Amino acid sequence: MTSRRPIKKFGGLKSATQAEILRAHQRDDEFVRGLREKFLDLLHNFGGYRTLLPFIQSDILLKLLYFGFTSGIGNQTLGEEYTGIVQADLEAHRVPSLSARVLAAVLECFGERGLLTLLEKLKKSINHPHSELQPEAVIFLNSLIDKLKTAIPLMILVHKGLFYIYGHYYSWGRRLTGVDYAKVYGKRPTDGISWGLRLLGLATLAQCALKIYRGEEKIDGDDSLLQEEEGNKCQLCLEAVPTTTTPCGHLFCWNCLGDWLRTRSQCPYCREHVTPSRIVYLMNL
């Protein structure tokens, strides 16, 4: 799993471009997804997939293991090796410390979803019948948590826009830990790609400003952003709205499920046998 090229101490750093960083993370995500599929197939063959499925389905555990065996022991990830970049502290002109690399990986794995889940659990604890908090404190904390749940997605969106524009710190976790990327070998992408990403960054910031102006980021107490994201996205591409269901009840978009069933007659989620003729297109979605 680990890359063969170790990270070495260096000077005279050149910052990696937005396109190189994005491609490296896309490559790493592709590898983790492939690893996840292999684990699911292995578990299905041994009959233990139902018990361990929730841990592997989220990719978090596999991502932590992947980053642990690459960045955690001082090696490049496969994506970093492919694009010729390494993790670096650009201000200090050195390799980031082990603790900084590990913390950056943990924050990147849990990220926004982890923060929203933590806030939701904290809110349940505050509103528990046996809570010893005063009513005024409960009202104040509930209001504060609701504001944080509204602000976190906006902060993530603003950070993404800034990354597209300036090309530094891929995630807020890497910004907090000071872990950036330096280019050490290979060809750079054309400058036109960088300008295109800068324009995308400006559009992202404009989108964020519009959401703040219209107040579209308000989240009701009964619904969390986490539930909305998971419920309204295809579980394969994580982009399209799911329109098709398998006999076992799992939702995907039509194209993703069709492509999947051409290679294997199994539900992508639970691995139950699926006959392609039995999938149902839900017209009212």
pLDDT digits (tens, 9 = 90+) for 185-233: 888 776 666 788 888 889 989 988 888 887 754 444 444 444 444 456 6
Higher pLDDT, 26 or 50: 26
Q: What is the pLDDT of residue 268?
A: 76
Q: Is residue 87 part of a domain?
A: yes
Instruction: Give the Cα separation of 16 and 163 in Å (integer).
Output: 12
pLDDT for 48: 55
Mean pLDDT over 15-29 rounds to 90
Question: CA-CA distance, 15 to 17, in Å (whole number)?
Answer: 6
Q: How many structural domains comprise the chain?
A: 2
The residue written with tokens 């943990």 in the block is: 106
Higher per-residue confidence, 219 vs 88: 88
In a domain, 177, yes or no: yes
Q: Which residues on neighbouring strands pair with residue 14, listed in sequence order?
A: 183
Do residues 98 and 185 both lie within one domain? yes
Residue 101 shares a structural domain with residue 196: yes
Q: Helix-strand-coil percent breakdown of the chain, rounded to 5?
A: 60, 10, 35
Q: Based on the fold, state whether residues 129 and 270 are members of the same structural domain.
A: no
- Of 43 and 144, the structure prediction assigns the larger pLDDT to 144
Domain boundary residue, one of 202, 231, 260:
231
Q: Which CATH number does the domain housing residue 239 bear?
A: 3.30.40.10
Are the C-beta atoms of 81 and 111 separated by less than 8 Å?
no
Residue with tokens 């933590």: 118
Domain that holds residue 254: 232-285
Is residue 3 in some structural domain?
A: no
* Same domain (yes/no): 144, 279: no
pLDDT at 24: 92
What is the share, in percent, of the chain residues with pLDDT greater than 70?
Answer: 78
- On the CB side of 100, CA atoms within 13 Å amount to 14
Do 105 and 169 lie in a common domain?
A: yes
The first and second tokens of residue 3, run together, are 């890359």
At residue 51, the pLDDT reads 60
Confirm whether 188 is domain-assigned: yes
Note the pLDDT of residue 80: 92
Mark whether 253 and 209 lie in a shared domain: no
Same domain for 215 and 249:
no
Q: Tell me, yes or no, whether 163 lies in a domain.
A: yes
In a domain, 6, yes or no: no
Phi, psi of 132 (to 5 degrees): -95, 10
Quote the percentage of the chain above a pLDDT of 90.
8
> Mean pLDDT lowest for which of 8-12, 76-80, 167-171, 247-251?
8-12
Distance CA 270, CA 250 (A): 8
Starting at the edge strand found earlier in the chain, the sheet holding 244-245 runs 251-252, 244-245, 280-281
pLDDT band at 79; cut points 50, 70, 90: very high
C-alpha 271/C-alpha 182 separation (Å) is 41
Beta strand 244-245 with 251-252 is: antiparallel
Tell me which of 73-87, 184-198, 239-253, 270-284 is least confident.
270-284
Are residues 210 and 264 located together in one domain of the fold? no
Residue 2's pLDDT is what?
Answer: 43
My answer on whether 108 and 40 are in the same domain is yes
- Dihedral sign of CA atoms 73, 74, 76, 77 in order: positive
- Kind plus residue range of the DSSP H or E element containing 183: strand 180-183
Question: Taking 80 as the threshold, does the pLDDT of residue 32 lie above it?
Answer: yes
pTM: 0.64
Residue 190 has a pLDDT of: 67
- Domain membership of residue 47 (yes or no) is yes
Instruction: Choose the weakest-confidence range: 14-28, 56-70, 113-127, 168-182.
Output: 56-70
d(CA 105, CA 33): 17
Q: For the beta carbon of residue 151, count every other beta carbon within 10 angstroms.
A: 12
Q: Which amino acid is at 167?
A: G
Identify whether 170 is part of a domain.
Answer: yes
